[in-house]
């Protein structure tokens, strides 16, 4: 891949764009040159970890690696947690949002007079009186649009004294739509003669229907290598549109303090991004916008920016001079929030006689949904990095359709890509006559980012495969496809190998810290805890680095008025980004503590401890001599001698010269009912390379949560559209089939395996784990179903009717 | 005064005690040795302003000295400000407090069964089931007491689903009191045969009734000097019990997060003090207690600690596992909140023939109220420092009575002391045959703290006297007492000279700061803005120091989870304490900005500006070359080149070797109605030495506000007690006569004069002004009344009946 030239001007633009981090985190493969250029720039412009801080790094870990319950558990488990939707302000107005019944339509007339006349209504917002601003992310999407691009799109917002009045008023708005032709399938949208989706004027990358076309990644010569391969295989694989289905819907509460100060409580994964967006929207200095998010009821990628809800709340609040609360109802949240995009991947590969991959080609089409730019090149990320292939060709395009806007959903395109890839590899292994495990052990890439030629900062994929196989009993349990049928029950086992870029770093990485006179520590950082225990992890890294007891530390949550910036909680990057920042701020504070401990103090003009700062270490609340740990003083005495809190601050930079990746393997054991087509997941083993587990309990919970989302993708989840308007029909939890405890393995049959090779650049060797476990379950289960019944199903979800249809075909066959 | 020996152990105890700052700030005279020892210790233990930060101090001020509207005005003026009493949490319980009808009684039995049985009641707290903890401040006061020491004292607290149920339940509590003898007058309490107030066992300083006796301050030999003086005078003066009458009463909302994390929204002047108190109460690390206070509806000294309300809320919340809100009702707040203590001062002085003070003696008794330690030696503070007296004797004792607990109220004991002193000095001037202005110009101390022999860091008292006299037209208007009567109206003019210790420093002085990529600045500091514009001032000092435009800066409020610590907003010390901390944090950030600006950056490996950091300065949002300001780059470009926010932090130390004092003069012009005794304040001039005005508008507002409180003290305010229980009878705003716009001069006739000698240690030469203007009005008005009618009234308030009684005496005369 030839590097693009990125100018200094472009670098500074990227540094100033909160969306860049988002996109870079989710699509490092497509933005590799930009990321590299920004990293190189930052390496040159910002200080590396200074020598004096290197010298005071802890000699051993005391806290990192423990099992720690999340600090927010008491609030969440007792129902006392205050989410954005729980914020109640005096005089607060409530908002109802009217949405479109059509997938594609032009608003010819909109009459809000009856709504405005209803007593209790304070403001009505439509495309006519809303600020005309393109909103972050999709460049062709405005705060409200006249041309509607998906069924369920926001058309008008009503602020009223109570939600009932607001809803009644929304029902009184009369809209005349000119219904336009729509399309909800990416392949159909790209086909000749497809309807015009009306995006022409709004700056779509290329053509009318093509939201984005990412650069082709080529290595060697695919065609020649494929032609000469001993074993060849090709196939086409499909995944469906999926939902985050966050417990807490999109929500924001806005409060103005005069014309130039704004506070927004937002259910967001990135407070600083929302702050920057809103500052731009209203032309304010960022310091005059305050964004607060403590508890969040799920983000999963949907809440990476303020999108419409934050701006609608702030605009209505400015119009009415009242606090305004916006909460999407369940239907609106299913329809208008972003979702995992449907994908079609055509794969083609050849291997040598030993089963070594010789040529690999992937062509993907992803469904961008109604607006451009949220559908990224993520489908390719796991494809370019999991398997070693010297001759390769990878291409992805994304098409505009009239589905709701696509977006980031836990691991973004990787579950789609890996689903397709690892069924395909299973098939190729079979053609090569190899055990699926041996095939993967022979072909996974363990050393480098093949395109950037950069060594992995850590790689535990082989250990993931070996330990996972051992745990599930692969060698004992794997059998020929369809060879373990007892009565109407077929037993099967399947696996996946996976690598993705999630868990990498982004910028900025900044944090602050203070320690009080009693030796207790406040870790002040901007991380939104989206339920993954991020705050607890920051607290652990902070306490470890400064050397206080864990029970004396406490993490802040993100409040843009007070905290520094460590990017959003997405891309599994908070361990790297927030964790590194907290570590550096902690070292800064520790160094100041050691300086104070070795400084002559009155009345005897003697220091608390002899020697130089670098002769000392801290731990368990004490400063002690490295050479003789029995010579120690409590940290609180050192702090108290200064009279006040001591503070630390840190900005970290991204080390260049490494490829960064996370690795995983998944192993599934299923029982398929040959009469009903029902698939029962008996056992699931998730092995994840996390570099080093900061909080073992938290890592296990992340693995379990992400795995469940992956299981849902194959065992039933699928958004369905129907009728002339292509309206979503299963927009609630009754009809959208998420896996419950009945569909996921019981705890005893669920095994998370933590692989810890130690990362060269992560804090204490750690890297992220929030997303990587999402991808392996679906192909592992699909491969296990094949192993059970001998039928290959290429399209997710694998429903009963697909299983039964496959079985019928075999019986017929 | 012989210095006490303060041990290192004692110094560390003081450093760890949030009450020490409070007491030291309010009574520096009594704790001079402790303060000096702590300052000397901190000077040795903490770093002075480093050389590199000295080198980057701004060359000129651009923001300090402007007139700036308070940042919180939009919130306050539109009613959107969220005070503690506006906090609403899901599931929050409301609290009613039952209080005692007796001034002194023992609870023999308390039956809460009927209250507990009322539906909706969740918990009832009495002395029996409350945590037995002495609360900060009065060492003999528990969270709830079995022996009641004042009428209106809290007896029980009921938490219920709504306030009506809570109040009904409080009314169902049956208390059997054994009524004990009570006393509500300090002199009577100290007289032989006074009733036993039952404090014997609780660690009162000396004897049963004596709350505190402060060390005698002696200079030279009073008795000898007095005996030889040419002119002699003595007199006894009295002031009354006064009320803060804050708009927002005492209030707190407590929320537990499991057993070891507590959040409290508190109406408090010192979040970090309340955090430390609550951490001690519940045995938690301070980092696990979060105290938040944004808007405050008045503090005036009453809200320096959490006292009972914060602990009651937190204990009830822990018992019920629900958020709990406590708000004192108006009656309870008048009775149980602290107040300005009544004082009796006996003064005696001699002067030479030229009117120079030769000997000066003061003996004061102050009324400590129901509990010890809140009544400090403040009555003496202005006496020991305002006038030069080489032979002097100053002593104050404070007596326990059955009034409500005394406490800090704006300028604490100084209004009492100065009321007494400056009527006395007026009388002495008359005996010496001198014009009151000349007498004061001849006798005020302009150079040093006479007892510590330390030079004032600034002193503008002479300019205050001269400028104030000019503004009121003293030389034209002063006349012989009773010499300007027209019909039934008598005209008079009077004055005061005043010095006090408010505006001094305390510890810790720490702050943080961050600047975003758009060049906008967040000033992160712990100051509670109690309505005096403290936040705006911090924002101005921060913006000035870093060099951003004022409109790009924003101040935080105090939130203990995020902010450093700059002590409470009391003692007029935030300008010195918070301001100095913000300045040092700003210099730290500025230095980092200048370093980055002069560092080679890619792609050309050239710095943004040539030279070394110390060759540059900042202002108006730019970094520029001192030698050629046209060579400049925007600060935002420098920050953006680092990729993220830049941060600064600062801890300041108290410079030793200076005496610190604020100075003021007050001039009043009155008209007395000889028929009705009514006193009309025609004009008031307040001249205050503020070192340097940071925010001129804010300073004027502080002067006006404090003057109004001083005016109320002489023109009508007085708590009255009646009946066998000595119950307060005027416990609301209808009956407690605070001055309204009708009693205070109209804006056009009210003149604040700002004297700016520049302080050697305050930030940008500034010192505090929140309290010093409180003291001059009362004696100036009293002296003006004398000038009008020729009758001396020695007791505040000067009511119509006192004026008429005086006139009648003269007529009888």
Containing B277, the helix (H) or strand (E) segment is helix B271-282
What is the C-alpha to C-alpha distance for residues A363 and A345, in angstroms, rounded to an integer? 6
Residue A3: pLDDT band with limits 50, 70, 90: low
Which chain A residues have a beta carbon less than 8 Å from that of B34?
none
Q: Spell out the SS3 assignment of A656-718.
A: CCCECCEEEEEEEEEEEECCCCCEEEEEEEEEEECCCCCEHHHHHHHHHHHHHHHHHHHCCCC
CB B147, CB B100: distance < 8 Å: no
Which chain A residues have a beta carbon less than 8 Å from that of B287?
516, 520-522, 552-554
pLDDT at A1: 44
* Residue A527 sits in the same domain as residue A637: yes
A606 contact B CB<8A? no
B325 has pLDDT over 90: yes
Selection from A241, A675, A753 nearest residue A474 by Cα: A753
What is the C-alpha to C-alpha distance for residues B749 and B684, in angstroms, rounded to an integer? 7
Residue B212: pLDDT band with limits 50, 70, 90: low
Contact A516 B286 (CB under 8 A): yes
Residue A25: pLDDT band with limits 50, 70, 90: low
Which chain A residues have a beta carbon less than 8 Å from that of B86?
90
A807 has pLDDT over 60: yes
Closest Cβ–Cβ partner in A12, A276, A601 for B45: A601
User: Does residue A136 form part of some domain?
Assistant: yes
Which chain A residues have a beta carbon less than 8 Å from that of B91?
79-80
Residue B1: pLDDT band with limits 50, 70, 90: very low
CB A601, CB A595: distance < 8 Å: no
Closest Cβ–Cβ partner in A82, A640, A643 for B89: A82
* Mean pLDDT (whole number) for B718-724: 86
* Mean pLDDT (whole number) for B225-239: 98
Q: Tell me: the pLDDT tens digits for A330-358?
A: 999 999 998 899 999 999 999 999 999 99
A202 has pLDDT over 50: no
Q: What is the CATH number of the domain that holds B752?
A: 3.30.365.10
User: Does residue A218 form part of some domain?
Assistant: no
User: Does residue A755 form part of some domain?
Assistant: yes
Q: Tell me: the pLDDT tens digits for A167-192?
A: 999 999 999 999 999 998 899 988 88
User: Does residue A316 form part of some domain?
Assistant: yes
Contact A554 B561 (CB under 8 A): yes
- For chain B, give the percent of residues with pLDDT over 90: 74
- Which residue bears the tokens 């054991």? A669
A599 contact B CB<8A? yes
B92 contact A CB<8A? no
B278 has pLDDT over 90: yes
Residue A522: pLDDT band with limits 50, 70, 90: very high
* Residue A166 sits in the same domain as residue A268: yes
Q: Which of A636-645, B197-206, B280-289 has the highest mean pLDDT?
A: B280-289
Please give the tally of structural domains in chain B.
3
Name the residue in chain A with its Cα closest to that of B74: A258
Residue B39: pLDDT band with limits 50, 70, 90: confident
User: Does residue A194 form part of some domain?
Assistant: no
Q: Mean pLDDT in chain A?
A: 92
pLDDT at B556: 96
Tokens of B692: 């340097």
Q: Tell me: the pLDDT tens digits for B84-126?
A: 999 999 999 999 999 999 999 999 999 999 999 999 999 999 9
- What b-and-e string marks burial along A2-35, b requiring 16 or more CB atoms within 10 Å of the CB? eeeebeeeebbebbebbbbbbbbbbbbbbbbbbb
Q: Tell me: the pLDDT tens digits for A130-172?
A: 988 877 656 678 899 999 999 999 999 999 999 999 999 999 9
A2 has pLDDT over 70: no
* Residue A281 sits in the same domain as residue A379: no
User: Does residue A119 form part of some domain?
Assistant: yes
* Residue A641 sits in the same domain as residue A553: yes
CB A645, CB B510: distance < 8 Å: yes
Residues 10-69 of B with CB under 8 A from A: 12, 15-16, 38, 40-42, 44-46
* Distance from the first to the final alpha carbon of chain A: 45
* Residue A403 sits in the same domain as residue A499: yes
Name the residue in chain B with its Cα closest to that of A509: B644
CB A261, CB A278: distance < 8 Å: no
Contact B12 A641 (CB under 8 A): yes
Which chain A residues have a beta carbon less than 8 Å from that of B12?
637, 640-641
pTM score, two decimals?
Answer: 0.95
Which chain A residues have a beta carbon less than 8 Å from that of B41?
602, 643
* Residue B543 sits in the same domain as residue B527: yes
Closest Cβ–Cβ partner in A91, A259, A562 for B562: A562
Q: Which of A308-312, B419-423, B759-763 has the highest mean pLDDT?
A: B419-423
B216 has pLDDT over 60: yes
CA distance B360 to chain A (A): 38
B554 contact A CB<8A? yes
A496 has pLDDT over 90: yes
pLDDT at B459: 97
pLDDT at A376: 60
* Residue B373 sits in the same domain as residue B518: no
Last residue of one domain, picked from the residues A652, A679, A704: A652
A649 contact B CB<8A? yes
* Residue B780 sits in the same domain as residue B802: yes
Residue B219: φ, ψ to 5°: -135, 140
Contact A510 B601 (CB under 8 A): no
B522 contact A CB<8A? yes
Q: Tell me: the pLDDT tens digits for B497-553?
A: 999 988 877 788 999 999 999 999 999 999 999 999 999 999 999 999 999 999 999
* Residue A594 sits in the same domain as residue A708: no
What is the C-alpha to C-alpha distance for residues A64 and A701, in angstroms, rounded to an integer? 16
Of A213 and B335, the structure prediction assigns the larger pLDDT to B335
Q: Tell me: the pLDDT tens digits for B127-145?
A: 999 988 877 656 678 899 9
> How many cross-chain Cβ pairs, A to B, lie less than 8 Å apart?
235
pLDDT at B813: 67
A32 has pLDDT over 80: no
Name the residue in chain A with its Cα closest to that of B525: A562
Contact A643 B518 (CB under 8 A): no
* Residue A644 sits in the same domain as residue A563: yes
Among the residue ranges A376-380, A620-624, B375-379, the one predicted with the least confidence is B375-379
Domain extent, residue B577, equals: 46-80+507-652
* Distance from the first to the final alpha carbon of chain B: 45
pLDDT at A206: 41
Q: Tell me: the pLDDT tens digits for B413-446?
A: 999 999 999 999 999 999 999 999 999 999 999 9
Contact A520 B285 (CB under 8 A): yes
A286 contact B CB<8A? yes
Q: What is the CATH number of the domain that holds B112?
A: 3.90.1170.50
CA distance B525 to chain A (A): 9
pLDDT at B201: 45
A545 has pLDDT over 60: yes
What is the C-alpha to C-alpha distance for residues B472 and B452, in angstroms, rounded to an integer? 35
Residue B721: pLDDT band with limits 50, 70, 90: confident
Q: 3-class DSSP state for residue A205?
A: coil
* Residue A736 sits in the same domain as residue A794: yes
User: Does residue A187 form part of some domain?
Assistant: no
pLDDT at B27: 63
- Rounded-to-10 torsion of CA A190, A195, A201, A206: 10
Last residue of one domain, picked from the residues A602, A620, A652: A652
Q: Mean pLDDT in chain B?
A: 92
Contact A644 B565 (CB under 8 A): yes
Residue B204: pLDDT band with limits 50, 70, 90: very low
* Residue A585 sits in the same domain as residue A617: yes
- Among A516, A520, A559, the residue to mutate for chain B (most B Cβ within 10 A): A516
Residues 116-155 of B with CB under 8 A from A: none
B80 contact A CB<8A? yes
User: Does residue B202 form part of some domain?
Assistant: no
pLDDT at B208: 56
Last residue of one domain, picked from the residues B282, B316, B336: B336
Of B746 and A564, the structure prediction assigns the larger pLDDT to A564
- What b-and-e string marks burial along A171-194, b requiring 16 or more CB atoms within 10 Å of the CB? ebbebebeebebbbbbeebbeeeb
Q: 3-class DSSP state for residue A302?
A: coil
Tokens of B765: 């030469």
Q: Tell me: the pLDDT tens digits for A46-92?
A: 767 888 999 999 999 999 999 999 999 999 998 889 999 999 999 99
CA distance A480 to chain B (A): 53
pLDDT at B47: 66
Selection from A382, A313, A300 nearest residue A339 by Cα: A300
Contact A8 B603 (CB under 8 A): yes
Which chain A residues have a beta carbon less than 8 Å from that of B649?
512, 647-649
Q: Quote ipTM for the complex.
A: 0.94
B651 contact A CB<8A? yes
pLDDT at A520: 98
Which chain B residues have a beta carbon less than 8 Å from that of A255?
80
Contact A40 B72 (CB under 8 A): no
Residue B2: pLDDT band with limits 50, 70, 90: low
């Amino acid at each position: 891949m030839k590097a693009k030239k990125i100018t200094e001007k472009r670098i500074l633009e990227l540094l100033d764009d909160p969306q860049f981090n988002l996109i870079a985190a989710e699509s490092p493969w497509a933005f590799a040159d930009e990321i590299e250029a920004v990293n190189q720039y930052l390496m040159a412009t910002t200080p590396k970890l200074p020598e004096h801080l290197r010298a005071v790094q802890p000699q051993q870990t005391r806290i990192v690696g423990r099992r720690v319950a999340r600090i927010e558990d008491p609030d969440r488990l007792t129902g006392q947690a205050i989410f954005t939707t729980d914020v109640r302000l005096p005089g607060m107005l409530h908002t109802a949002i009217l949405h479109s019944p059509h997938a594609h339509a032009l608003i010819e007339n909109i009459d809000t007079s009856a709504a405005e006349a209803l007593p209790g209504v304070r403001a009505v917002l439509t495309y006519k009186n809303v600020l005309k601003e393109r909103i972050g992310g999709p460049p062709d999407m405005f705060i409200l649009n006249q041309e509607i691009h998906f069924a369920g799109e926001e058309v008008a917002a009503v602020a009223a004294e109570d939600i009932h009045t607001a809803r009644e008023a929304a029902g009184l708005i009369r809209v005349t739509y000119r219904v336009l032709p729509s399309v909800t399938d990416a392949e159909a949208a790209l086909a000749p003669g497809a309807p015009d989706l009306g995006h022409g004027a709004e700056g779509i990358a290329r053509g009318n229907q093509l939201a984005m076309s990412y650069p082709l990644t080529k290595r060697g010569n695919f065609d020649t290598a494929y032609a000469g391969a001993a074993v060849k295989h090709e196939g086409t694989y499909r995944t469906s549109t999926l939902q985050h289905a966050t417990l807490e819907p999109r929500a924001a509460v806005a409060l103005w303090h005069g014309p130039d100060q704004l506070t927004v409580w937002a259910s967001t994964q990135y407070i600083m991004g929302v702050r920057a967006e809103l500052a731009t929207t209203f032309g304010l200095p960022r310091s005059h916008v305050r964004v607060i998010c403590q508890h969040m009821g799920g983000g999963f990628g949907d809440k990476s920016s303020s999108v419409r809800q934050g701006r609608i709340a702030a605009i209505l609040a400015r119009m009415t001079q009242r606090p305004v609360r916006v909460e999407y109802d369940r239907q609106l949240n299913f329809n208008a929030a972003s979702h995992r995009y449907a994908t079609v991947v055509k794969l083609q590969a050849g291997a040598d006689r030993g089963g070594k991959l010789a040529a690999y080609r992937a062509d993907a089409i992803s469904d961008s949904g109604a607006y451009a730019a949220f559908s990224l090149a993520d489908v390719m990320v796991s494809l370019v990095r999991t398997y070693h292939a010297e001759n390769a060709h990878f291409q992805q395009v994304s098409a505009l359709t009239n589905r709701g806007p696509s977006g980031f959903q836990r691991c973004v395109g990787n579950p789609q890509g890996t689903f397709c890839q690892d069924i395909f590899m299973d098939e190729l292994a079979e053609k090569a006559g190899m055990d699926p495990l041996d095939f993967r052990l022979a072909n996974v890439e363990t050393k480098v980012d093949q395109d950037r030629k950069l060594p992995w900062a850590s790689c535990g994929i082989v250990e993931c495969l070996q330990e996972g196989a051992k745990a599930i009993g692969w060698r004992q349990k794997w059998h020929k496809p369809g060879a373990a049928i007892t009565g109407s029950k077929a037993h099967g086992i399947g696996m996946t190998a996976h690598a993705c870029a999630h868990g990498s770093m982004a910028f900025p990485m900044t944090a602050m810290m203070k320690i009080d006179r009693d030796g207790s520590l406040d870790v002040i950082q901007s991380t939104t805890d989206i339920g993954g225990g991020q705050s607890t992890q920051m607290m652990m890294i902070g306490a470890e680095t400064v050397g206080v007891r864990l029970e004396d530390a406490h993490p802040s949550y993100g409040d843009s008025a007070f905290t520094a910036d460590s990017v959003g909680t997405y891309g599994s990057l908070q361990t790297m980004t927030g964790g590194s920042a907290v570590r550096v701020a902690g070292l800064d504070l520790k160094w100041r503590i050691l300086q104070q401990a070795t400084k002559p103090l009155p009345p005897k003009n003697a220091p608390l401890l002899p020697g130089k700062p670098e002769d000392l270490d801290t731990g368990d609340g004490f400063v002690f001599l490295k050479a003789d740990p029995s010579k120690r003083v409590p940290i609180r005495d050192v702090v108290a001698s200064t009279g006040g809190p001591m503070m630390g601050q840190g900005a970290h930079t991204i080390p260049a010269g490494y490829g960064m990746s996370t690795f995983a393997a998944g192993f599934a054991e299923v029982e398929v009912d040959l009469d009903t087509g029902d698939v029962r997941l008996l056992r699931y083993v998730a092995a994840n390379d996390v570099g080093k587990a900061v909080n073992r309990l938290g890592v296990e919970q992340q693995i379990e949560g992400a795995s469940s989302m992956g299981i849902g993708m194959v065992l039933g989840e699928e958004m369905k559209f129907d009728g002339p308007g292509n309206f979503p029909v299963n927009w609630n939890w009754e009809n959208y089939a998420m896996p419950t405890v009945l569909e996921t393995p019981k705890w005893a049959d669920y095994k998370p395996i933590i692989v810890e090779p130690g990362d060269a650049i992560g804090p204490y060797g750690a890297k992220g784990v929030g997303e990587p476990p999402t991808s392996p379950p679906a192909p592992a289960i699909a491969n296990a179903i094949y192993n059970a019944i001998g039928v290959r199903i290429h399209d997710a979800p694998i429903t009963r009717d697909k299983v039964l249809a496959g079985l019928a075909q075999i019986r017929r066959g």
